[in-house]
Structure 1
Amino acid sequence: MDRAAEMEIFVHAVEEGSFSAAARTMRLSPSAVSKYISRLEDRLGARLLMRTTRQLSLTEEGRAFYERARTILAEIEEAEEVVTQLYAAPRGTLRINASVAFTKYQVVPLIPEFLARYPDVRIELTLDDKFTDLVNDGYDLAIRLSALEDSSLIARKYAVNRRVIVASPEYLEKNGIPRRPQDLDNHDCLHLSSRESFNDWHFDTPEGHVSFRAQGSFSANDGDALHEAVVAGLGMARLAEYLVHEDIRAGRLTPLLTEYVHDLAWISAVYPHKRHLSPKVRAFVDFLAEKFTPVPPWELGLRDARSVRKPTDKTSDAKPATTSA
């Protein structure tokens, strides 16, 4: 068996968690998988896996080999796609890293339609609001909500990630409506504890730039929790339009201070620069463009409630701030 095949068996064993599961995936017997991995370890002169009756665990050498082997196998797959699948129907595993809240609410509901359209594609989705090295971590693309900086990555922009300050009608009836950013000092502004910079609210006013630090009687480390809290009337919060648009339409939340421009950034698909973009990546990038442009669904009916200003136009993403609440 060649080295690439040994790598593939080893990677499957690690990702499946057992020799028997890897054997089913590779259509081999568990004893054959064990034999090939033992042969690989003998050739390398290092123990890669610690074996027990219940689980496999990587040694330090095994983790280093796994990370590199996974990258090599992805590059082999890409090389084959360039030669044989450049103009073919999308197929294979599409590995996506994506911002948590936006993807849960706006992308995951679309995936059944995408997979029905491209039945030979399989999606592996990882939700994470932290910066991810797409190349080293083996992802085909990422979905980001951030200001994009220069890098070797390519960004396909879809829509503007607008945030709006909202409160429930019950809260406003009891506490009054803020007319200027300075009025927020008299209100209970909910706090995101997991990302302090998110609590700095910025406004463009006729008098110049104004900053406000959100603080109040409730904080949480998750944007969904802030959303539920503001609907329940605990205070006001600055949240993404894609998260609160249905509440605004239904009257459960009221947008505030909409005449002042807040922070804006692009919602983008980001992928490594490649001369030949694989059909599966191109299909997914184009599919999202079909769904989110020229006007994303969460903005329909809300445009008269806020400015149409767009963020600074840049073309690529290096280390974005990925807060998505």
Structure 2
Amino acid sequence: MKLDGIVSFVAIADAGSISAAARHLRLSKSVVSERLVELERTVGARLLHRTTRHLSVTEDGAAFLERARRIVREVEDAGADLAERRGTLAGPMRIAAPISFGHLHLGPALYPFLAAHPAIELILDLDDRRVDVASGAYDGVIRHGVIEDSRLMVWRLAPSRRVLVASADYLAKAGMPGSIAELDAHRGLFYSNRGAADWRFVGPAGVAIVRAKVGLRVNNGEMIRDAAIAGLGIGLLPTFIAGPEIRTGRLVVIDIGLRPEPEHVFLAHPEGRRPSAKLKALAEHLKRSFGDPPHWEEGIFTAGQA
């Protein structure tokens, strides 16, 4: 059983097509296809269903895929370990991150790190959908929110504050809410990937839930920001998205006397898998780059609010 066939099979299964796998591996489509055929002949089983329009993993292929991924990962880690023994951070590293945070803050922090370690081959997937970190498809996943999955090992990169915001025009027309009860009458701009259309705040009596009228539900924080600027309602946004608009006055912070549930920007990796030196180095670099308090909160809160 040849390693290059296993690598090709994993790449095809992950990419969803032979063409996409060939681009990822920087090989011709015919070479990748030949390696897959040879692997299937060696294991004596059909690993993929292939038609002109669709490709899917067979039952045998699904059983083999988990171990195949592990084999590829172990080989990559072995090569990276040898490089690290020589004092070099090298080899492939696959990270997933949310779109808005990736574009606004992760990218600018990553570029100096990659320039300092040119032997690292980073694959960065920006997607607001939740990914299964425990599956092992990623070395690490950067997320913003509450840390819930007990199967994960987590490094906190930065605290993350969320604030209720709206435009001055909207508040002039609808009124400035000063309590939980007054929020109920307002139009809410909600982040759909969080599930229910509600906001959660922490008070003396525990968690208080607010369900305002839905003005918009969307799976992107920058669109919620823009909708709030347009006067369509109130949004609950992290300061890493809303900060610049708060500083310029395009968005106004609403104080109802309670804070949203505390959240973090964090990097998670699968439990039971030893994180590589390059992943640890990336986490430390990002912590230093973001700061505590993070740089995106500069000029937003007074000393009493921090």
Which band: TM-score by shorter chain?
0.7 to 0.9
Structure 1 residues 271 and 193: alpha-carbon distance in aligned structure 2, compared to 1, 3 A threshold: closer
Gaps of 5+ in 1: 309-325
Structure 1 position 214 matched with structure 2 position 211: yes
**Whole-Å separation in 1 of the counterparts to 2:149 and 2:34:** 47
1:55 CA drift (Å): 7.6
| Equivalent AA in structure 1 for residue 93 of structure 2 | L
1:239 to 231, 237, 240: 237
Name 2:175's counterpart in structure 1: 176
Q: Following superposition of structure 1 onto structure 2, how do residues 1-325 of structure 1 map, counting pairs within 5 Å?
A: 2-12=1-11, 14=13, 15=15, 17-18=17-18, 22=22, 25=25, 30=30, 33-51=32-50, 58-86=57-85, 88-149=87-148, 151=150, 153-197=152-196, 199-204=198-203, 208-209=205-206, 211-216=208-213, 218-222=215-219, 223-257=221-255, 259-272=257-270, 277-304=275-302, 307-308=305-306
TM-score (normalised: structure 1): 0.79
TM-score (structure 2 length as normaliser): 0.83
CA distance in 1, matches of 2:127, 2:23: 30
Which amino acid in 2 is paired with 1:77? E
Question: Shift in Å at residue 252 of structure 1?
Answer: 0.1
CA separation in 1, counterparts of 2:189 and 2:44?
Answer: 57
Same amino acid, percent of matched pairs: 32
- Contact kept, 8 Å, 2:129 with 2:193, in 1: the verdict is no
2:22–2:29 Cα contact (<8 Å) kept: no
Relative to 1, partners in 2 of residues 1:306 and 1:246: Cα closer, same or farther, differing over 3 Å? Answer: farther
Aligned mates of 2:70, 2:275 — CA distance in 1: 17
- Which secondary structure does the structure 2 equivalent of 1:190 belong to? strand
1:269-318: per-residue Cα shift (whole Å, max 9, x none)?
A: 1223578642321221122012112221211112318744xxxxxxxxxx
> For 2:42 and 2:207, how far apart are their aligned partners in 1?
64
Answer yes or no: is the 8 Å Cα contact 2:184–2:210 preserved in 1. no
Aligned to 1:132, the other structure's residue is in SS state coil
Query: 2-side partners of 1:295 and 1:278: how far apart?
Result: 27
Residues 150 and 40 of structure 1: is their aligned pair in 2 closer, same or farther, counting only changes over 3 Å? closer
Kept in 2, the 8 Å contact 1:164–1:258? The answer is: no
| Aligned positions, number | 304
SS of the residue corresponding to residue 246 of structure 2 reads: helix
Cα offset, 1:267, TM superposition: 1.5
- The change in CA–CA distance for 1:187 and 1:42 in structure 2 (over 3 A counts) is closer
Deviation at 1:88, TM superposition (A): 2.4
8 Å contact kept, 1:258–1:306:
no
Greater RCO structure (CA 8 Å; 6+ sep): 1
The offset of 1:249, in angstroms, is 0.3
For residue 58 of structure 1, report the CA deviation from its aligned partner.
4.0
Tell me by how many angstroms 1:129 deviates.
4.3
